[in-house]
Structure 1
């Protein structure tokens, strides 16, 4: 975990909102049509659904999701022609502990 990358990723309102939405994807997104129980990626949300909710163009949302994944906040899985993202709860917990312990 690199705290500076996480702070940078969270310094943008839309990226912060995406992380908040992905905390409870059933509440914030419609059922993911191309993701079945056999895909084993619980909580995953398709890039298109995130893009639509964030009201951003594809290139911007891809950049945002990539930045958040590089910071460790998100994990992704490609299923067919779709890519799904979900929160990386392990890294988020480590970051929370870092803030409580060191800041």
Structure 2
């Protein structure tokens, strides 16, 4: 029950759904690429990424001073189903364009 509530809570926000869709389309992405593409402030993006990570949707990896986010490879059936639905949603996202500067 707890996992269900955490998963459904994580999906109950348009920005978080857009983050998941962005990662579905573009794969592993630096936090600065996500921030630029979705035009989000750093603190707001960090909050959304933490919620998605705590719910089990995301993994993160530090490379130098940057953190890269990707979809978890260990999703439960509900999370997998949710991602399949998100793939079908008519969401218009910009391309992944900004690269992190050193």
TM-score (ref. length: structure 1): 0.70
Deviation at residue 55 of structure 1 after TM alignment = 1.1
Q: What is the correspondence of 1:20-39 to structure 2 with a 5 Å cutoff?
A: 20-25=21-26
Q: Which residue of 2 aligns with 1:95?
A: 78
Q: Which runs of 5+ in 1 are unaligned?
A: 26-42
Q: Which runs of 5+ in 2 are unaligned?
A: 83-102
- Structure ranking higher in helix proportion: 1
**Distance in 1 between residues matched to 2:78 and 2:8, nearest whole Å:** 10
Deviation at residue 61 of structure 1 after TM alignment = 0.2
**Distance in 2 between residues matched to 1:69 and 1:97, nearest whole Å:** 15
**Distance in 1 between residues matched to 2:53 and 2:25, nearest whole Å:** 18
Q: How many residues align structurally? A: 81
CA spacing shift, 1:97–1:17, aligned 2, 3 Å: closer
**Distance in 1 between residues matched to 2:4 and 2:61, nearest whole Å:** 24
Deviation at residue 70 of structure 1 after TM alignment = 0.3
**Which structure has the larger Rg over C-alpha atoms?**
1
Structure with the greater relative contact order (CA < 8 A, sep ≥ 6): 1 or 2?
2
Q: Which residue of 1 aligns with 2:70?
A: 86
**Distance in 2 between residues matched to 1:54 and 1:95, nearest whole Å:** 25
